[in-house]
């Protein structure tokens, strides 16, 4: 038993030491333990938050939501710009791109924006906190919790092992979608008078579905051709995109098509 445990620890340690040496010293990267703790705290908040708020009045977070959402727009614009410009300057292939593990300025620039993308997923857990504090518990769905909770692990793996290369494509696409999404939420937070300008919420969900479809095709292509990028990462992303397409399609159907039928 002791030998098996030592072997397991040795394998675990070798996997940690096998990561990208450039990103290992960065915040939350070297070990999965901090991310696992954040995830457990997140699940605890999802479980305990609504219970603690049950007999309390919802918080008025209008100002905080305006600042938060437009700050996330700014961060998403920055990340989209960095992914796009760095990939173009590096002559990245948009079909198959190995990771450049060198310390060249462009390789480090790409690694840094990959870290920021990962860290943005930690920041986005605040979305759930705001829903709970405002007693919008109907928004804290399985889809919402699953998507937010799993993205931090997916991108911990990304920045730990493949900070650059092919992984930039999905992060860049998602950054663009989040520019649109947080713009919508920021405008909605300005007050009820903005609702007449926010008729395009349905199309925001459509845009999210389109991005997952593009990622699925893009990743599927990389699984079928010779590409010097870890197949394990491609397979993980492919399977993850399938789950998101199923969940978001169900959300779209229930929110728009099924409601129209009932009307």
The per-residue pLDDT for range 189-234, each reduced to its tens digit, is 999 999 888 998 889 999 999 999 999 999 999 999 888 999 999 9
Per the domain annotation, does 152 fall within a domain? yes
Contacts of 111 (CB under 8 A, 6+ apart): 20, 22, 23, 159, 163, 164
Domain count, the chain: 1
**Looking at the predicted structure, is the pLDDT value of residue 260 above 80?**
no
Per the domain annotation, does 210 fall within a domain? yes
Per the domain annotation, does 24 fall within a domain? no
| pLDDT at site 89 | 97
pTM of the model: 0.94
Higher-confidence residue: 263 or 64? Answer: 64
Per the domain annotation, does 27 fall within a domain? no
Per the domain annotation, does 90 fall within a domain? yes
Q: How confident is the model at residue 12 (pLDDT cuts 50, 70, 90)?
A: confident
Mean pLDDT of 148-166: 96
Q: Of 55, 147, 178, 221, which is the active-site residue?
A: 147
69-128 pLDDT, tens per residue? 999 999 999 999 999 999 999 999 999 999 999 999 999 999 999 999 999 999 999 999
- 55 tagged catalytic: no
Contacts of 88 (CB under 8 A, 6+ apart): none
Per the domain annotation, does 8 fall within a domain? no
| pLDDT at site 1 | 60
Per the domain annotation, does 94 fall within a domain? yes
Mean pLDDT of 48-64: 96
| Residue 192: DSSP 8-state | G
Integer Cα distance of 88 and 102 in angstroms: 17
Per the domain annotation, does 95 fall within a domain? yes
Integer Cα distance of 228 and 198 in angstroms: 43
| pLDDT at site 261 | 60
Range of the domain at 89: 61-262
């Amino acid at each position: 038993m002791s030998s098996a445990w030592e072997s397991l620890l040795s394998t675990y340690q070798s996997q940690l030491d096998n990561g990208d040496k450039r990103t290992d010293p960065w915040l939350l990267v070297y070990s999965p333990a901090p991310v696992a703790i954040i995830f457990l705290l997140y699940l605890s908040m999802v479980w305990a938050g609504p219970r603690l708020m049950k007999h309390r009045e919802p918080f008025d977070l209008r100002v905080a939501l305006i600042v938060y959402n437009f700050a996330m727009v700014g961060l998403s614009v920055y990340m989209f710009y960095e992914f796009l410009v760095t990939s173009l300057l590096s002559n990245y292939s948009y079909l198959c791109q190995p990771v450049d593990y060198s310390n060249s300025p462009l390789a480090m620039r790409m690694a840094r924006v990959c870290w920021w993308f990962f860290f943005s997923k930690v920041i986005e857990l605040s979305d759930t906190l705001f829903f709970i504090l405002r007693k919008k518990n109907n928004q804290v769905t399985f889809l919402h919790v699953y998507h937010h909770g799993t993205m931090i692990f997916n991108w911990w793996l990304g920045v730990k092992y493949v900070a650059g290369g092919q992984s930039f494509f999905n992060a860049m696409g998602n950054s663009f979608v989040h520019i649109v999404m947080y713009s919508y939420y920021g405008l909605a937070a300005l007050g009820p008078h903005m609702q007449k300008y926010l008729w395009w919420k349905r199309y925001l969900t459509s845009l999210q579905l389109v991005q997952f479809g593009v990622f699925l095709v893009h990743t599927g292509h990389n699984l079928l051709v010779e590409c010097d990028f870890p197949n394990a990462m491609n397979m993980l992303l492919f399977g993850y995109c399938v789950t998101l397409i199923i969940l978001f399609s169900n959300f779209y159907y229930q929110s728009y098509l099924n409601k129209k039928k009932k009307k």
